[in-house]
Amino acid sequence: MKQHIGIRAEQRLAILGRLRMADWIEMPEREFATQVQRVEKDPLFQKLYFGAPGLPSAIRRRRWPGGRLSSSFYDVDESRVSSGERVDVEGRLDAHQDVLPLIRKMGRQDFERYFLHAEEAVPMPEIAKRTGLPESEIRRVNELLLEIGAQAEFAGAPKTAPGARGSTCLARLTLEAGKPAFEFVAPYWARGLYQVRYDDLESWKTSGLLSGEERRRLRHLLKRLETLNLRQSTIFRILESLGVIQADFLRTRKAEDMRPVSLRLLARRLQLAPSTVSRALSHRSLRLPWGPETPMISLVPGQRHVLKDILGLWLAEQTVQTDAALARRLKQERGIDVSRRTVNAVRHALHQEREG
């Protein structure tokens, strides 16, 4: 009986965990950025992230494959507004305009090394020494970077497309050497995942530099970092998969080169629940290589949508093509395996659209 009760309790915890993660996946980017800000402003996080003399950083960063911060971050355009909503442009640009002169003084390379990607475990006093800036300004750069978060809109950021209204644009999706690459709009996205170095963390625990309260709060901090990582890595895996699946479309810009993919198929490919994929796609958009912004869900077109684009072009060739011949051609040229009846149904729908 005790074992049966234990199993049921574990199941309830697993269900609760999935529900909480669903909330995190669905959480608007602005709200998520606030959660990141809350964690990174925690003195315990900052202590472990920047390290101390004689003690290395116990929390580092791991960059996304093909990910970087958009160059639009380094510019300001006061005419930008966010997602069609009225925003506090003055407050937003104050934080951005304050940090840009400091970034220019230290140099973009050092800014990205020490603040964006944390490529080295360097305490703030050492960063000040290396960059020649006062430590107060170094701390100000870190504070402003957190304040900007998802609230900022920058010159060159994607214009909101009609279908993307109410969405948050995450990145500009491009192909580099045939692989997806991402120019992230928000700094907290470009920074990648948190990486906890547990060997170094043990050194902190025995160093005497953590108070009793900090030691008690450490487990909660690590759990929160794990949650933030899981949320971000889930969405990034979907982004990356869309870039791989729709590589032909991204290269040619032709709608007929879009690959048919369903939410269920994408979920199975990533070993995620379809509802998780649906939540991740909702209210988020990407900028295409040639400029326009599009909802992420538009890169997951159903089979019927893709067939209409392809068959619409082929039927316009004014050659007599049977349904069976078109089905064979779809298989040979596009790798799309459908029945003659499906082709006939799409053909009939196209005819009705033209007649209507």
Label residue 301 by pLDDT band (50, 70, 90).
confident
Res 176: pLDDT: 93
Q: In whole angstroms, what is the distance from residue 132 CA to residue 126 CA?
A: 10
Among 104, 113, 112, smallest CA distance to 133 is for 104
Res 353: pLDDT: 78
Give per-residue burial for 226-248: e unless 16+ CB within 10 Å, then b.
ebbbebbebbbbbbbbbbebbbe
Res 41: pLDDT: 92
Q: Which of 80-84, 147-151, 161-165, 308-312 has the lowest mean pLDDT?
A: 80-84
Label residue 117 by pLDDT band (50, 70, 90).
confident
Cβ count within 10 A of residue 176 = 9
Contact 160, 83 (CB under 8 A): yes
* φ, ψ (nearest 5 deg) of residue 267: -65, -40
Type of residue at 275: S
- For residue 89, pLDDT over 80 is answered with no
Q: In whole angstroms, what is the distance from residue 63 CA to residue 6 CA?
A: 39
Q: Is residue 26 within a helix (H) or strand (E), and if so which, with residue range?
A: helix 2-26
Res 67: pLDDT: 95
Phi-psi region of 51 (alpha: psi -120 to 50; beta: other; left: phi over 0): left
Mean pLDDT of 103-125: 87
Mean pLDDT of 164-171: 76
Average pLDDT in the chain: 82
Label residue 94 by pLDDT band (50, 70, 90).
low
What are the tens digits of pLDDT across the range 11-60? 554 554 566 888 999 999 989 999 999 999 999 999 999 988 888 899 99
What are the tens digits of pLDDT across the range 208-246? 999 999 999 999 999 999 999 999 999 999 999 999 999
Q: Where are the domains of the chain?
A: 28-245, 303-356
Alpha carbon distances (Å) from 209 to 44, 167, 213, 302: 10, 44, 11, 56
For the full predicted model, state whether its pTM sits above 0.85. Answer: no
> Which DSSP category does 178 fall into?
T
What are the tens digits of pLDDT across the range 328-356? 888 888 778 878 888 788 777 777 777 76
